[in-house]
Amino acid sequence: MDTSASPRTVTGRVDVHPRGFGFLTVQKPGTPEVLSAFITPPDLNPLFAGDVVSATVTASGEGRWTASGLSLVERTRTVVYGEVVSRKGAFFLRIDKEVSNTDWPLDPGATPVQHNDAVVARIADGKVVLLYKLEPGADRSLERVIARHGLHRDFPPEVIEEALRAKETPHALGGARRDLRSIPTVTVDAPSTRDIDDAISVLPAGPDGALRLLVSIADVGESVKEGTPLDLEARARATSVYLAGRVLPMLPEELSAHWLSLVPNEERHCLTVELRIDAEGRVTAADVYESLIRSWARLNYDEVADFLNDGIVSPAMEPVRDAMPWFRLASARLAVSRAARGGMTMSRDEARFTFDTATGALSGLAGEKDTSAHNMIERFMVAANEAIASWLMTRGVPTVYRVHEQPDPQRVADVNAFALHSGFAAGFGAQLTPLALAAFDRQIAGAKAEAALRSVLRRSLGPSRYTVKPGPHFGLAAPLYLHFTSPIRRYADLAVHRLIKAYLHGRRDFVHEDPEIEQLSQHINVRARSANRAEADRHHELEARFMSTRIGQQFPARVVRVKPFGLVTQLDGMWVEGMVPAEGLAGGPYRPDARELSMVGKTRTFTVGMPITVKVVSTDEQLGRVEFALVE
């Protein structure tokens, strides 16, 4: 932005900082450039995070912008979480610090409340009106995150009623569908999974060496009809949200865990993509059709990994024993083919919280690594998604693509620098290629700090997005890509299913790059970002709760981000993130460099990727923050 420009009137969105001030964020049309203007606490008082406002922004000589004269244009937020404050006989709501910087008058209605009660309220003119009060012992962190990000907590009664009708209405099985019930078919999921939406089958290789992999996905569109209350609620949610200790599903469990779920020994409607995979791992043909399947076995990742690694056949695997080696071959072939294209693996190590089954209290934090079974299923699903994208493209059917742009030269330079700071040589040129990315990905596989390195790498590569405009997915080195394999938990997949079914049923009047599909894509992008932020906030709040019992303990860690106010560090093995404040670092003052890859002091520099040792100093669960101190 031109910092010498005169004051201007703009429209933007309000962000609230927990310290009481805020920022007005304005996206410059047609560019990635963003103006961020400071909002003083008094001007922020009548506003909530997410409010769209018009304002006058003024630049100082230092290039900083300030917003004044703010006027509300649109309020998208409808509910807030807060805790009751009693003052002189009146009740106020101390709202989540990420949402509002001031207490609001509370109308409790007929519900008796007292000081420090946790409540969720709807926003009304100049006040907030109580919707419900949390029960004693309820997880306040969870409710705060749900309200903060505008997530849908419960399903309306009419949606539940429709789901029950769909569940209880028997479907005519068979018909024009291709009957796959005689083909050995399995599902592979975590033991706790209830909404099973994908199944796999394999036909052994013939004389030409080619085998056939069948990926069958629950035909959600058969039960969720477009425009119904059930569909409109699913569209509004756009995705299931996985908050540690709680799932907010896109579809009611009455439907998703029963009639739609591909449970063993039950006949189910599916959409199947049948892939011909030659001896070199190339997908040389794809056929897509409506099918009728029956799962022969429900397997979990651990037992499939035991077979892939050691040839162990579990009791549950006995009905499909003969198919298992062919699954292993299909996975190996796809791995070879993908390796030849480049890109990075989608698998990741994760830290998962555990909860006491009786009380629901947080009981632990466990690191989880992907197994060979996770990698096999991931290869199958990626291959199916790619095949469907190409199948729709060649038939002129517009759809919801998943696009990931090639990183620009500055991002490539950042990855180069980060790699060197981490003890790895990336050696990227000005333009990063999928094969060069794959070579670096292979370097860090198995490294002690792999989790931290991958988190930084993904952040440097930037996010993927949905759009009707076809384009490559750089991270997967895929010419075309979309989401087809999880219609129970992602609306994008359900939209793709409906377009496939429309074509299979004879529709041909499609509109090139249909603007309605683009509008849907943008809505899904917004909801997916909210879901991602909510999942991250919930995770950070539980990290703070977990680390609150470890004050004073020391841990090996690694710098994963540099902020103006300090170093974001990740603990090795535990993958907990926290902040080392810059003001607490000896040898200051410290300032970040231009790209926020290094924190530079008078005699010392801290860089992204650098290993350090830290001590836990304090935690703040409400803000999801853990503070560390550097241990020299």
**pLDDT reading at 579 higher than 90:** yes
**pLDDT reading at 480 higher than 90:** yes
Q: How confident is the model at residue 1 (pLDDT cuts 50, 70, 90)?
A: very low
Annotation: CATH topology of 549-631? OB fold (Dihydrolipoamide Acetyltransferase, E2P) (2.40.50)
Alpha helices in 401-474 (DSSP H): 409-421, 434-444, 450-461
Least confident among 70-74, 366-370, 449-453 = 449-453
385, 483 in Cβ contact below 8 A? yes
Alpha carbons 43 and 61: distance in angstroms, whole number: 22
pLDDT at 427: 85
pLDDT at 458: 82
Q: Specify whether domain 79-138 bears CATH 3.40.1000.
A: no
Output the CA–CA distances (angstroms, integers) from residue 380 to 200, 275, 333, 384, 609, in the order listed. Answer: 8, 10, 11, 6, 33
Per-residue pLDDT tens over the stretch 529-558:
999 999 999 999 999 999 999 999 999 998
Per-residue pLDDT tens over the stretch 207-220:
999 999 999 999 99
3-state secondary structure of 426: coil
211, 202 in Cβ contact below 8 A? yes
**pLDDT reading at 3 higher than 50:** no
% residues pLDDT > 70 (the chain): 96
Across residues 141-146, what is the average pLDDT?
A: 94
Across residues 546-572, what is the average pLDDT?
A: 92
Which residue carries 């999942």 as its tokens? Answer: 535
pLDDT at 172: 59
Alpha carbons 125 and 83: distance in angstroms, whole number: 19
Alpha carbons 472 and 283: distance in angstroms, whole number: 17
Q: What residue type is assigned to position 499 of the chain?
A: L
Residue 589 preceded by cis peptide, ω within 30: yes
**Three-state DSSP string of 200-252:** EEEECCCCCCCEEEEEEEECHHHCCCCCCHHHHHHHHHCECEEECCEEECCCC
**pLDDT reading at 60 higher than 80:** no
3-state secondary structure of 377: helix
**pLDDT reading at 168 higher than 80:** no
Please give the mean pLDDT across all residues of the chain: 91
Q: Give the DSSP letter of residue 422.
A: T
Top pLDDT among 359 and 605 is at: 605
pLDDT at 175: 64
pLDDT at 28: 67
Top pLDDT among 386 and 458 is at: 386
Full-model pTM? 0.92
pLDDT at 367: 73
Across residues 556-582, what is the average pLDDT?
A: 90
Q: Residue ranges per domain, the chain?
A: 8-74, 79-138, 157-391+495-502, 406-461, 549-631
pLDDT at 57: 93
Q: Which sign, positive or negative, has the C-alpha torsion 381, 383, 386, 391?
A: negative
pLDDT at 24: 94
**pLDDT reading at 2 higher than 60:** no
Taking each helix axis from N to C end, the angle separating 434-444 and 324-341, rounded to the nearest 10 degrees, works out to 120
- Fold agreement between 8-74 and 79-138: yes
Domain 8-74, CATH: 2.40.50.140
